[in-house]
Amino acid sequence: MVPGQRCKLHDLPLGHLFDVEISLSFTESILVDISCFGVDAQNQLSDDRYMIFYNQKRSPCGALAIVKDDVSNSHTFQVNLDQLPETVQKLVFTATIDGAGTMKALKTGALTLRDHTGSGAEFKFNSASLNQEKALIIAEVYLKNQWRLAAVAQGFNEGLGALLRHFGGEEETAPQATSTPPPPPSLPEKKVSLSKITLEKKGDKKSISLEKSAKNTIHVNLNWDAPQSKKLSFFGSDAAPDLDLGCMFRLKDGNAGVIQPLGNNFGSQHQLPYILLDQDDRSGSSAAGENLTIYKPELIDVIMIFAFIYKGAKDFTTVNGRVTVRDHKGNEIYIKLDSPDPRHAFCATCSFTNTGESLDLRKEELYFPGHQDADKHFGFGFRWKRGIK
């Protein structure tokens, strides 16, 4: 499909249950929030529960849900048209820029509709018709006698909050102190909270529940930019930054160790320490970065998550490092490594401490000459030797 084209889902052919995959790439470091608005015939969000985004990943009855969002600037939505209420007659898929930048920097974008048979449609777009917009309406699935798809790729001047207001939704605001409490509303109101959980400053904390659950896992993602630059390369003119994600841990029973690519210490999902590093992205080309999963967080006493530049850059000033922590409920905590020390290539990004009922996540962002210096600071007491991979 091309911008402006429309088609009937029946002609694709596509049934009532399908996935919508959206991915975008940019010519510079930009993060976007990808959302779906379920609106009525008047283009209004008459029920805020049908805005699907980072703070609300599932609608009532499961009609709309984000089923995959573990790669930056890429989401997969699952849509069940038969479960939508009659009031929802259009699904609007959007992307909004989180932070600096505009849609003019969009390099490529793609939206794919696909059911379990592989049938569907693909819509590719770029920045040809975009300028300084902060948001993008990508496509619409709408009801007009029957369900149809419209390829849009139209810019929108402001961000996610403005889009929410455009569709008639209300953003939740922080309560203000008053001398007398406001009267209770006659009907319960639900407003959308657009606030993200971000640990801005060193020492900021967020508690993650240790409730007993078979799926009570914690996922840690490290991602970074990989510019090809001769002046950045320490090991060769064409080397992209190779960052390693790892951790130093101590369990409640006293067992301690290190998980990292150096020495092929990737850990294990099925035996102690129940911590697993998924890969070593040595090229910097993986959109998913590197990922570490803590499968039994209740066993943790303390764990320090670190990032280490193995080659391709001398320090963190050029790589735009960021860490995202996701708990088993899908809540995300974002930590940007925005105060790099140009002297060092090892960063203690964050730490978890067991308090009994929760793990306290703390932003550290402390830079050291290497592993041994970080270990000395946090007091694990390991013995170190030089390693290669």
pLDDT, residue 190, reads 62
Of 329, 307, 322, residue with least CA distance to 262:
307
pLDDT tier at 234 (50, 70, 90 boundaries)? very low
Token pair for 322: 């960021």
Confidence grade of residue 100 (pLDDT, cut at 50, 70, 90): confident
What pLDDT is recorded for position 193?
Answer: 83
Q: Is the pLDDT of residue 336 over 50?
A: yes
Q: Find out whether the peptide bond into 13 is cis, omega within 30 degrees of 0.
A: yes
Cβ atoms 288, 71 nearer than 8 A? yes
Q: What are phi and psi of 206, to 5 degrees?
A: -150, 130
What type of residue sits at position 65?
A
- For 295-385, strand residue ranges (E) read 300-311, 322-326, 332-336, 346-354, 358-368
Please provide the CATH number assigned to the domain covering 198-378.
Answer: 2.60.60.30
| Model confidence pLDDT, tens digit, residues 247-267 | 999 999 999 999 999 888 999
What pLDDT shows up at residue 235? 41
pLDDT over 60 (residue 91): yes
For residues 97-110, give the mean pLDDT: 92
**What pLDDT does residue 26 have?**
93
> Cα–Cα distance between 68 and 117 in angstroms, integer?
19
pTM of the model: 0.71
Q: What is the pLDDT of residue 125?
A: 96
Residues 146-173: what's their mean pLDDT?
A: 91
Helix ranges, the chain (H): 160-166, 371-378
Question: Is residue 182 pLDDT above 90, yes or no?
Answer: no
Starting at the edge strand that comes first in sequence, how are the strands of the sheet with 64-71 ordered?
64-71, 74-80, 17-26, 106-114, 120-125
Give me the residues paired with residue 322 across strands: 223, 336
Asked if 149 and 92 count as a contact pair (C-beta separation under 8 A), the reply is: no
Topology match between the domains 6-166 and 198-378: yes
What number of other Cβ atoms are within 10 A of residue 120's Cβ?
Answer: 18
Chain centroid, CA 294 distance in Å: 17
- Provide the pLDDT for residue 280: 63
H/E stretch holding 244: strand 242-251
Residue 91 pairs in a beta bridge with 38, 141
Per domain, the residue ranges of the chain are: 6-166, 198-378
Give the mean pLDDT of the chain: 88
Least confident segment among 60-74, 336-350, 365-379: 60-74
Residue 283: Cβ within 10 Å count:
12
Report the share of the chain in percent with pLDDT over 70. 88
How far apart, in whole angstroms, are the C-alpha atoms of residue 349 and residue 347?
6
pLDDT band for position 236 (cuts 50, 70, 90): very low
pLDDT at 35 over 50: yes
Span 262-288, mean pLDDT? Answer: 80
What is the rounded distance in angstroms from the CA atom of residue 307 to the CA atom of residue 382? 18
Average pLDDT over residues 38-61: 93
pLDDT for position 213: 64
Q: Is the peptide bond before 273 cis (omega within 30 degrees of 0)?
A: yes
Cα distance between residue 144 and residue 130, in whole Å: 28
Which class for 48: exposed (0-12), middle (13-18), buried (19 or more C-beta within 10 A)?
Answer: buried
| pLDDT of 71 | 80
Please report the pLDDT score of residue 61 as a whole number.
86
6-166 adopts what CATH topology? Lipoxygenase-1 (2.60.60)
pLDDT in tens, 108-134: 999 999 998 888 999 999 999 899 999
For 41, the token pair is: 């015939």
Give the pLDDT confidence score for residue 385 in this predicted structure: 85
